[in-house]
Amino acid sequence: MVVNILFGVLSPHDRQHCCNVCSHGFPLPSTAKPGSKTRGFVDECFEVAKEYGLVEWLEGYWLTTDFPTVDAWKHLVKTTIQTQESERWRESTASETNCHRFYRVHQTNNKPHKLWTLARQQPEYQRDLKNLILLSTIPTRHTVKACPTCHNATEDLVGHLFTRCFTFNHLRQTLAEEIANTLGVRVMAKVHEQPDERFTEVMLGAEIVEEAVEPAVWSAFITTTARLLRPLAAMALKHATWKERQNCSTEKENRTHES
């Protein structure tokens, strides 16, 4: 969406209107109608540019009417967005490794490289693999609340849904069958012998170290698991307040003061 908005090419008439604008208001050119999907929709361009710190570049292009090629725009925007998103990702995970499973699952504070690579290779599973990554960022310790599906009290929504919530008993049985079919009965037994927390991490994409597993076999396993976990992921991610970083950080500070 960002690419579609920023990479639009204005007509010569639109450029003339844009170059006459010197304030930050940037009214729409006369040819653009509210709600239109025309490429070069100026107010949307400006909002996205403002969000990613590209206003200075955009102003320069507008005021000089010297617009770059589409390839030049792509390079500028993609580089800027990648840099900023990487910084945001590091900030959101680096200080909270005790509050969620992300680091334990992916062994990094930067990016879940294996799942992202797999998502690029198999785009049909992209949404489901992304859900696994998001589930790993939901805090493991929170104010005790009722589970939204079985109503039992829990402070770890994801762990509860994976291992204890009776609503997902059938899903867990299906997962066990898939583990046996994909990884073999021996690996399935080893995984299910693990404590609840380790089992949850494996389901979220952690490396299976209990038994030797070929990369291609693991890829087949995790994509199948991600697809089967879609209803569970939807249930957990729907309750977004459970993953508020501020609450997680506050609880961590409280535990530090108490100790």
pLDDT category of residue 128 using cuts at 50, 70 and 90: very high
> Which of the residue ranges 49-53, 72-76, 172-176, 251-255 has the most confident prediction, judged by mean pLDDT?
172-176
pLDDT digits (tens, 9 = 90+) for 172-189: 888 888 888 888 888 888
Indicate the helix (H) or strand (E) that contains 146: strand 145-146
Q: Picking from 62-76, 90-104, 196-210, which range would have the lowest pLDDT averaged per residue?
A: 90-104
| Whole-number pLDDT of residue 227 | 92
Distance of alpha carbon 37 from alpha carbon 251, whole angstroms: 45
The phi-psi region of residue 131 (left if phi > 0; otherwise alpha if psi is between -120 and 50; otherwise beta) is alpha
CA distances from 161 to 154, 165, 193, 194, 244 (A): 10, 5, 18, 17, 18
- pLDDT at residue 44 greater than cutoff 50: yes
First to last CA, the chain: 47
Distance of alpha carbon 151 from alpha carbon 255, whole angstroms: 26
- Inter-residue contact 168 to 233 (CB < 8 Å): no
pLDDT category of residue 145 using cuts at 50, 70 and 90: confident
Question: Mean per-residue pLDDT for 149-169?
Answer: 88
Question: Mean per-residue pLDDT for 94-110?
Answer: 68
- Inter-residue contact 164 to 171 (CB < 8 Å): no
- pLDDT at residue 5 greater than cutoff 60: no
This prediction has a pTM of: 0.59
Q: What is the 3-class SS of 193-226, one letter each residue? A: HCCHHHHHHHHCCCCCCCCCCCHHHHHHHHHHHH
- pLDDT at residue 122 greater than cutoff 60: yes
> Which of the residue ranges 7-16, 121-130, 233-242 has the most confident prediction, judged by mean pLDDT?
121-130
